Amino acid sequence: MSAPSAAAGGEGRFFPDEMPVPAASAETMGWWEAAASHRLVVQRCQECGCTRHPPGPRCPGCRSAAWEWLTLAGTGTVYTYTIVHQAFIPALAGTVPYVVAVVELDGADGARLVSNVVDAEPTEVSVGARVGVVWEDMGPELALPRFRLASAGAGR
């Protein structure tokens, strides 16, 4: 098994160029803008303080529409993960197997992010493993947070 690694797509690249691109909405634009400058954020409700992801206009806890961006350290814990052996995006046919993980983000009150663990053999990943963000620049305005195992020296 090989893992998506920086060597596959050049320095700092893990996934191919031919990936889908997001269509930003009023709520998600700020998240993509923060990501483009390599800042990992989640929404925090200004009424009850609870966090949420993906971005949306109202707090699922108290329904308040008042919210702010909470900037995170970029570290977290693997809540669960899968090793994808059959990709449904043709461009990823040569990237399998790769790890899709749900990461519980530090300092985010339980908010989780579906992302990847890269630069590791898939068999090294485990539930509970500590991870740190690594940013992949997919284009001039699009960067995606993926994660490395903390044991690999990433994430601060």
Partner 1 sequence: MSGGRRRAVVAGVATSDYPHLPHLSEHAVHGQAADRALADAGLTLADVDGLATAGFFPMYATGVAEYLGLHPVYLDETNTGGSSFEVLVEHAAYAVEAGAAETVLVTYGSVQLSQMGRRLGTGGGGGGFAPGPAIHDALWGNTLVGNYALAARRHMHEYGTTPEQLAAVAVTMRQHAATNPQAQERDPITVEDVVSSRLVADPLHKLDCCVISDGGAACVVTTAERAADLRRDPVYVLGAAHATTHHMNLSAMPDLTVTPAAQSGPLAFARAGITPDDVDVAQLYDSFTITVVLTVEDLGFCAKGEGGAFVEDDGLAVGGRLPTNTDGGGLSACHPGMRGMFLIVEAVRQLRGQAGATQVPDARVAVAHGTGGMLSTGATLVLGREVP
Binding of partner 1 by 98 (CB under 8 A): yes
The region of 5-13, 67-75, 80-88, 148-156 touching partner 1 under the rule CB under 8 A is 80-88
The region of 5-13, 68-76, 82-90, 148-156 touching partner 1 under the rule CB under 8 A is 82-90
Least Å distance, CB 7 to partner 1, is 18
Least Å distance, CB 104 to partner 1, is 10
Long-range contacts of 55-64 (CB under 8 A, 24+ apart): 55/27, 55/28, 55/30, 55/31, 56/27, 57/26, 57/27
**CB count, 10 Å around CB of 4?**
26
By CB under 8 A, the count of residues binding partner 1 is: 41
| Three-state DSSP state, 147 | strand
Binding of partner 1 by 111 (CB under 8 A): yes
Contacts (CB under 8 A) with partner 1, residues 27-66: 52-54, 60
Quote the tokens at residue 97. Answer: 């197997």
Q: CA 145 to CA 143: how far, in whole Å? A: 7
Binding of partner 1 by 75 (CB under 8 A): no
Quote the tokens at residue 119. Answer: 């630069």
